[in-house]
Amino acid sequence: MKIYTKSGDKGETSLFRGGRVGKDSQRVSAYGTIDELNSWVGWVRYQGPSKFVDDRLERIQHDLFLIGADLATPQGAGKDSKSVMRLPEDSEIFMEEAIDKMEEELTPLRNFILPGGSKMSAALHFARTITRRAERSIIALIHSEEGEENTNQAVNPSILKYINRLSDLLFVMARYENKVSGTSDIEWKKTGIT
């Protein structure tokens, strides 16, 4: 299989079973941000997080690849085909379980915290912010293709639940990695406010 096809040389790309769109379309932006997030999660894993976190990040990378394929396939495209890949319902459950397990070991938050502390925590916070941008991009896609009423379901509803839970998980992972490394979370302090 050739890496270059030249089919995108004029600023368009093919969707899975859904024709061609401009590379600046909201759908391409949404799955492109998911790809960026997946790449960043790969970088985080390269930095050597704890085994508990790394095991979950590996699964997340596989899920993000599936989410990208799902977003690249408009909901109405290829409904009868078994080759259309969709994120299954309840895919976020494993993240809720991981959050609960890590929070058992963390002191409850009483203040806002700043991204950072340890290097690993900072990297996970960065992944969290990309996740939030991906979420905004997916919502913009829904609004652009469905209108504000969201009647046509341009996006698999399981995706938004997954991405929302993922940002929560990454936040808790960042705190957990601080704890594992013996680093304190950095509490936000009101400065310059009178």
Residue 75: CB atoms within 10 A of its CB come to: 18
pLDDT tens digits, 79-118:
555 667 899 999 999 999 999 999 999 999 999 999 999 9
Question: Which domains are delineated in the chain?
Answer: 16-74+87-181 (1.20.1200.10)
Nearest Cα neighbor of 156 from 58, 60, 84 is 84
Say what the pTM is.
0.84
Q: 56-80 pLDDT, tens per residue?
A: 999 999 999 999 999 988 776 555 5
Tokens matching residue 161: 């639940």
